Chains A and B, each alone.
Chain A
Amino acid sequence: MKPDDLALIEECRNGNMEAFGQLVDAYQGPVFNVVYRMVSDRDDAEDLTQTAFVKAFENLDRYDPKYRFFSWIYRIAINEALNFVSARKRIAPLDGDLESARPNPEESCGSSETGRRVQEALMRLKPRHRAAIILRHFRGCSYQEVGEILGMQEKTVKSTLFSARRILRQALLNSGVVRP
């Protein structure tokens, strides 16, 4: 927990919106990127990031300072993304006439062809495996932090990452990003 985060949160609780703005400035990039990697759609990621911050704002009184603020906001954002992905998966046309909503590959915004393929490979992982990979390898969270955010024990985090990377490698292999 950075001391200045704690001070900003205290000011937010006292109604200082500028303090909340500073928290948004500090964390909107990481949170948006986590959510984007989870859902693979910029518009949905923007909506979900916004929802996560507003929920955090409305629940600051429930924030426990023994956890780092970024862990807390990541947890809220990941839960939003997991709920969203779950709802999207439930779309089941009766007769196959309507296509369920899926991210448009054109909307994937990696900076390169490889970036796009990496994102597509990520989307082949189970959502919780994807979340673990994103937190660990895109955001540099420790195993303990990944565990806190995803509600897993550390050893589960390690085994999840281990499995997820193998699946990811296979997906990257299939898409030609890595060579056999």
Chain B
Amino acid sequence: MIDHRTADLMERDLDGSLSAEEGRELERRLQADPEARALHAEMVEVTGHLRAAGDVAVPAGLRGHVLAEAARRRAPSAQGRGTGSRRGWWLAPAPGLRYGAALAAGVALGLGMAAWLLAWPPAGPGLDLDALAGTMAGPDRREAVLEALEVSLPGVEGRVELRPTPAGYLLEPILRAEGSVEVRLLFDADEVDIRGFLDPEGDPAPFRVDRGELSWAHRGSRRYAVILAGRTTGEASLALEFSASGRRLGGGTLRLPGALADPGGA
């Protein structure tokens, strides 16, 4: 058992903050205690490896993205955020978009094509989809992913991400499939409201909507965006199911928070 004083001296020795007298005291203690001596050697070794790992390079565009987003947030036209303004909802390629130029091009194309924004149900008092469409080619910053599911099933791969936005939650299935795959999003209609959806690929997307279910047939590589909101303050579940030729491939769940966190709460 290593006493508190020895542990404290060992800890401070790692960053060279011991006085000469304390250094001598530590040396005496280590000489007298093999267990402490072994532990001290371990600590020196581990911290040496940590130091050797060094820093990683900062992404080249980080400063610009930060300043652009900060400027956007303080712009007078953005000050309505949180009070019904639709500004701030956007769809732009993520920094880590991993599915190639074809998808990226599709997304970029989609940004300028507000006509592809489909709404279900017709825009209610909480969301003006025309206004929403006009803001899509906005800044290139995205909120951090709240939750995500990696999809790795026979015949279909990809990722489904859930992010907060000022207009609600953005669910983005980014999928690649060999053939046709049926995708179903299941939820409790009393807990979750689907505000709208977007297929940036340009095809008036094959979304089918029923109470508590949004489904579509997926082929190839595509990225979709679904705007969701919780109807209650509690959490809700979003279940994703994948099937092909009537055979279930698999599924998973995401958790939808009931209320958006205060984006200004540091």
Query: Which residues from chain A sit less than 8 Å from chain B, CB to CB?
Result: 15, 17, 20-21, 24-25, 28-29, 32-33, 36, 41-44, 46-51, 53-59, 62, 76, 79-80, 84, 87-88, 90-95, 97-102, 109-111, 114-115, 118-119, 133, 137-138, 140, 158, 161-162, 165-166, 168-169, 172, 177-178
B264 beta carbon closer than 8 Å to chain A: yes
| 21 contacting pairs across A/B (C-beta < 8 A) | A28-B62, A28-B63, A55-B263, A56-B266, A91-B147, A91-B252, A93-B250, A94-B253, A95-B252, A97-B252, A110-B53, A110-B54, A111-B56, A115-B53, A133-B50, A137-B51, A138-B55, A158-B8, A169-B46, A178-B45, A178-B46
Q: Which residues in A have their C-beta under 8 angstroms from that of B152?
A: 98-99
Residue of A nearest to B72 (CB): A54
Report if A94-B143 is in contact (Cβ < 8 Å); known contacts: A29-B58, A53-B70.
Answer: no
Report if A158-B11 is in contact (Cβ < 8 Å); known contacts: A88-B148, A98-B151, A101-B150.
Answer: yes
Which of B50, B51, B142, B149 is A47 in contact with, Cβ under 8 Å? B142
Chain A nearest CB: distance from B174 CB in Å?
12
Q: Which 4 A-B pairs have the closest CB atoms?
A: A97-B250, A43-B96, A98-B252, A93-B252
Name A's interface SS: helix
Which of A20, A79, A90 is B67 in contact with, Cβ under 8 Å? A20
Determine the distance from Cα of A46 to Cα of B239 in the docked complex, in whole angstroms.
29
Chain A nearest CB: distance from B160 CB in Å?
9
Chain A nearest CB: distance from B164 CB in Å?
10
CB–CB A137/B266 < 8 A: no
Known: A33-B55, A168-B46. 14 other contacts (CB 8 A): A47-B144, A56-B266, A58-B73, A93-B251, A95-B251, A95-B252, A97-B153, A99-B150, A100-B150, A118-B50, A118-B53, A133-B50, A140-B15, A169-B46
Which of A20, A54, A58, A90 is B255 in contact with, Cβ under 8 Å? A90
CB–CB A87/B147 < 8 A: yes
Name B's interface SS: mixed
Report if A49-B252 is in contact (Cβ < 8 Å); known contacts: A54-B70, A118-B53, A172-B49.
Answer: no
Which of B67, B141, B239, B251 is A17 in contact with, Cβ under 8 Å? B67
Q: Which residues in B have their C-beta under 8 angstroms from that of A88?
A: 147-148
CB–CB A51/B143 < 8 A: yes
CB–CB B49/A87 < 8 A: no
B11, B52, B58, B266: most-surrounded residue (chain A CB, <10 A): B266
CB–CB B67/A21 < 8 A: yes
CB–CB A114/B146 < 8 A: no
Q: Which residues in B have their C-beta under 8 angstroms from that of A24?
A: 63, 66-67
Q: Which residues of chain B (56-101) have a CB below 8 Å from chain A? A: 56-59, 62-63, 65-67, 69-71, 73-74, 94-96
Q: Which residues in A have their C-beta under 8 angstroms from that of B132?
A: none
Q: Which residues in B have their C-beta under 8 angstroms from that of A84?
A: 144-145
A43, A50, A138, A165: most-surrounded residue (chain B CB, <10 A): A50
Chain A nearest CB: distance from B60 CB in Å?
10
B159 beta carbon closer than 8 Å to chain A: yes
CB–CB B56/A110 < 8 A: yes
B108 beta carbon closer than 8 Å to chain A: no
Determine the distance from Cα of A59 to Cα of B250 in the docked complex, in whole angstroms.
43
CB–CB A59/B62 < 8 A: no
CB–CB B142/A93 < 8 A: no
Chain B nearest CB: distance from A111 CB in Å?
6
B18 beta carbon closer than 8 Å to chain A: no
Q: Which residues in B have their C-beta under 8 angstroms from that of A165?
A: 42-43, 46-47
